[in-house]
A and B are shown apart, each in its own frame.
Chain A
Amino acid sequence: MSELATAAHLEGETTGVENRKLGMWVFLSSEFLFFGALITNYLLYSNRAGFSGVYPAEIYDIPFTSVSSFVLLMSSLTMVLAHNALSRHDQNGARTWLFATAALGSVFLGGQVFEFTEFVVNYDMRLSSNPAASAFFVLTGFHGTHVAIGVIMLLSLRGMSRRRGGLSDSHGMNLELVGLYWHFVDIIWIVIFTVVYLLSAPPA
């Protein structure tokens, strides 16, 4: 994506990498520790017996979550197509793909709200039901918050592009940074989907 950064951006930057981009990669790197802690917390409590209430692994709707995962995965495709369109100076294409990415992210969020509602209303599994439920809601809730922030950033970029008649090279870097954040949210979900949904089992 670095073709969007002009030589002027790199002037005086000794690493040869745009500072904002380097900052974003370092931030994403630190996010591994944040989500790692939440995933570890879930693994510690997901099948620890002796607590009352429903355990998340007993009530997962795997077909539904698989569709949600597919939607988020495809939003990474639309994100990269938005960037590709901008690098070809196709402003309309960039706006369209940005909107598609935000829409897919919103569908994923809607799915998460539906899942949480199902768990609370139909199964009475709440944040305070047991440590496994707490760990599940905190982990997936924080991931959902990240997705929501991503959707806001995507829509802001699209709005900026509409108002100004397109994204400049400098805003192209903004799109690149939002894209990096969005793909990161996707890879975290890849891990959550496997570890939390597909591999976890309720207490024996």
Chain B
Amino acid sequence: MSTTDHPTPAQYWKIAVVLAVLTAVEVALFYINRELELGALNAVLLITLAILKFVIVVGWYMHLRFEKGLLSRFFTAGFALACGCYLVVLATLGVVVIRGG
């Protein structure tokens, strides 16, 4: 893979600004929720923002989107295994409620 495949320093700075803005929005949401009690919407928005930040760091700073698929598969497998395993634990113990049919 050539260097040109990777972002330039200027692009890294822009990505950092995006990450900082997303963090600021998260904190703002925390205080908005205190005043307006957004309930489940607050959780959905905060988790969405966290996922966005996560994907940006993994994709651009860790360069996973520029790497071979093998690395993505290993990384995603560990993440999916952890999420699946612990969601089952949380659902079983009643911390996360999964509504179905």
A interface with B by C-beta (< 8 Å): 1-3, 15-17, 21-22, 25-26, 28-33, 35-37, 39-40, 43-44, 62-63, 66, 69-70, 73-74, 76-77, 79-81, 84, 87-88, 179-180, 183-184, 186-187, 190-191, 193-195, 198-199
Are A32 and B68 in touch, CB under 8 angstroms? no
CB closest residue in chain B, given A198: B30
Interface centre among A33, A44, A88, A198 (most CB of B within 10 A): A198
Secondary structure dominating the interface of B = helix
| Bound-complex Cα distance A193 to B6 (A) | 28
Rounded to whole angstroms, the CA-CA distance of A110 and B7 in the bound complex is 31
Partner of A29 from B1, B13, B78 at Cβ < 8 Å: B78
Q: How large is the interface on B (under 10, 10 to 19, 20 to 34, 35 or more residues)?
A: 35 or more
Check B12 against A80 for contact (C-beta < 8 Å): yes
User: B70's contact among A17, A43, A62, A69, by CB below 8 Å, is which?
Assistant: A17
Give Cα A5–Cα B89 distance, bound, in whole angstroms.
41
Main secondary structure of the interface of A (DSSP, over half): helix
The chain A residue with its CB closest to the CB of B60 is: A80
Tell whether, in the assembled complex, residue A73 and residue B67 are in contact, meaning their CB atoms are under 8 Å apart.
Answer: no
- Identify A44's interface contact among B43, B50, B95, CB under 8 A: B95
A2 and B1: CB pair below 8 A?
yes
**CB <8 Å contact, B57 and A194:** no
**What is the distance, in angstroms, from A154's C-beta to the closest C-beta of chain B?**
15
Shortest Cβ-Cβ A-B pairs, 5 listed: A29-B78, A36-B82, A32-B82, A194-B50, A77-B16
